[in-house]
A = this chain, B = another copy of it.
Amino acid sequence: IPLMRTTTRCTCIKISNQPVNPKSLEKLELIPATEFCPHVEIIATMKKNGEKRCLNPESKAIKNLLKAIRRERSKRSP
């Protein structure tokens, strides 16, 4: 669950380890670590209802998701 981004703290208050289907993903935001939030944050916006989910940057699910998103391009434009 992300909150409004302020410059004084982290955006995510709850982080999910559950995998996200790239097909149901509207977009994925990666926010690098800053002095205000000492770790990278990854926020998934879902197509269906615009729901936002914070994902664990260290989870295997995220590695696979990033791979899947990048792979889409080569699949469609060989």
Listed in ascending order, the chain A residues whose CB lies under 8 Å from chain B are: 22-23, 25-33, 38-40, 57-58, 62, 66, 69-70, 72-74, 76-77
Main DSSP-derived SS at the A contact region: mixed
In the bound assembly, the distance between CA atoms of A74 and B23 in angstroms comes to: 29
* Chain B residue with the shortest CB-CB distance to A25: B32
B73 and A33 form a contact (CB under 8 A): yes
A39 and B77 form a contact (CB under 8 A): yes
B70 and A38 form a contact (CB under 8 A): no
A30 and B33 form a contact (CB under 8 A): no
Contact partners of A69 in chain B: CB under 8 A: 30, 32, 40, 57
* Chain B residue with the shortest CB-CB distance to A37: B76
